[in-house]
A and B are shown apart, each in its own frame.
Chain A
Amino acid sequence: MEVLQSAVGWFLGLGSTVIVPIVLIILGLIFRVGFAKAVRGGVTTGVGLAGLFLVVNLIISALQPAVQALATNMGIEKSFVDVNWADAGIAWGWPGVAGLIVSLLVINILMVVLKLTKTLWTDVWSYWHGSALAGFVWALTGGNVVMGIAAGVLYLVLGSLMSDMTAKKYQEFNDMPGIGVPCGTTVQASLFAMPVVWLLDRIPGLKDWDASPDGIKKRFGLVGEPAILGLILGFIIGIAAGYSVQQWLGLGMQVATMMVVLPRMVSIIAEGIVPITMAIVQYMRERFKDREIYVAVDCAVLLGHPAVMASSVILFPLCVLLAAVLPGVQMLPIASLAVIPFWAGAVVPYTKGNVIKTVIVLLLYAIPFMYFSTLTVDAHTEAFNMMGQYGDQISQGLKLASWDMGGDILGFFIQKLFGLFS
């Protein structure tokens, strides 16, 4: 028993950038993708994870002193560091990820067979939303892997039910028959939009108010580019923090770097994982060939409409301002702004591409994220800590937060539920 325990301890001590490639190579061999593909996929994912953690290090070293100085200078409390999609690192790196993938596959197939859902969870990459939440619950319960998996699976199962409710609308608006999008905070934005749009349509004057998406894109499109957005935000934070010209120019470039490189690192992780999990897609697809099924795809397919980017560039500054003035909100969104276009993609089918309505819906939708990302910060930070990341800085009071998944509405309540058992 003792030998086993120390063996497990030794394995976990290797750290996620070593464990994840090993787990993925084994998964790849089980799914019969071939040895070369399995090894390439596993190692690529490990590289992506290591790269992601490097970028987060950069974010921390640049932004932590800046937001602290800003807080002191302006007399406001906004000292949490926004790491947003670094949560993908938790998702693919926490010890229960393989168990979560297998559990969800089994439960989803059962649910489809029993006709409890039409959504076939083939998009294994997007499991990361549930897996990140699972990682938080794992941290919250002091390292209980089973609890983590249960929380993640619950989240993803609810995601498939939400996808059932939204799939038809997505299919019609984007002209993509047969798809469903069960992704975390994206599909929740659609559910949120339904009653709000209904209400907005009953306010005289607002009903037909719109702005031309192409005009907005032409005028403000530059702000929609991650590098430029990051540069401007860095400048503003630096200036508000009372930095010297040299310092705030430097901060602008660092934030720009982070906005561009963080998603690239996530993309490398995906490049490793996707080929290994493609076999699952194929298998499940063939198995349910003759049934009416919504095949789960990534929320990125919803970004096509011009109103998406137009609404996002208006929302970027509004969200930062709102988070700055709302009392009790302790994270200024920077990296997290990157999730807004995905939300917009989920809302435009309901606003029929109306930019003004999309902006109103999402500004309201962002408010719970601002508070929940503040409320969940401890479990979120602890998850990084338990994975062996940033321990030194965390022990000195560093707090890491995010909108997607830290601020997730459904995820917040699932964390509360599982917190009862800790």
Chain B
Amino acid sequence: MGKLIVVACGAGINTSTIAEDSIRERMAKEGFADVEVKRILMADIEGYLTRSDLILIVSMMKIFRTFEVPVIQGMPFLIGSQEEKNVLLDKVVDVVKSK
């Protein structure tokens, strides 16, 4: 079964694109062929929560609720240095490997 990572932001226009791009690149580098990275509107998240292949939510904004799957705060993708980004990408890789 495939693995789904959703990158959620407020508008689904700009900020999530940046994170999506970085994560996709890393997934390709790691050779994870079964990982799908999808950017979504935070408002649309309900429809994804019920999907059994959802393994991770990367959120580009502060969220005021909890989820069953792990959540990673994606802000360093926007404003972090390369090292901070790598730390975050390592976390994503760990989640993918553990599932």
Contacts and interface: CB of A to CB of B under 8 A. Distances in A.
Interface of A: 122-123, 125-126, 174-176, 178-179, 224-225, 263, 266-267, 270-271, 274-275, 278, 281-282, 285-286, 289, 295, 297-306, 309, 341-342, 345
A289 B43 CA distance: 34
Nearest to A123: B14
Nearest to B11: A300
Max count, chain B CB within 10 A of own CB: residue among A175, A179, A225, A274: A274
Contact of B13 (A176, A275, A300, A306): A300
B11 A278 contact: no
Contacts of B67: none
Contact of A263 (B13, B62, B82): B13
Contact of A298 (B11, B43, B62, B81): B11
Interface of B: 9-15, 17-18, 21, 42-43, 60-64, 75, 78-82
Contact of B10 (A176, A225, A345): A345
B14 A274 contact: yes
B21 A301 contact: no
A341 B12 CA distance: 13
B13 A270 contact: yes
Contacts of B62: 174-176, 304-305
A299 B63 CA distance: 15
Max count, chain A CB within 10 A of own CB: residue among B11, B43, B82: B11
Contacts of A309: 43
A27 to B, nearest CB: 17
A298 B14 contact: yes
Contact of A267 (B12, B18, B63): B12
B53 to A, nearest CB: 23
Contacts of B18: 274, 278, 281
Nearest to B21: A275
Contacts of A178: 79
22 contacts: A174-B61, A179-B75, A263-B12, A266-B13, A267-B11, A267-B17, A274-B17, A289-B81, A295-B79, A297-B78, A300-B9, A300-B10, A300-B13, A300-B14, A300-B60, A301-B15, A301-B78, A303-B10, A303-B11, A304-B42, A305-B62, A305-B64
Contacts of B15: 297-298, 300-301
A306 B12 CA distance: 17
B37 to A, nearest CB: 13
A179 B79 contact: yes
B23 to A, nearest CB: 13
A28 to B, nearest CB: 13
Max count, chain B CB within 10 A of own CB: residue among A271, A289, A298, A306: A298
B61 A303 contact: yes
B13 A298 contact: yes
A125 B78 CA distance: 12
Contacts of B64: 304-306
Nearest to B75: A176
Contacts of A305: 62, 64
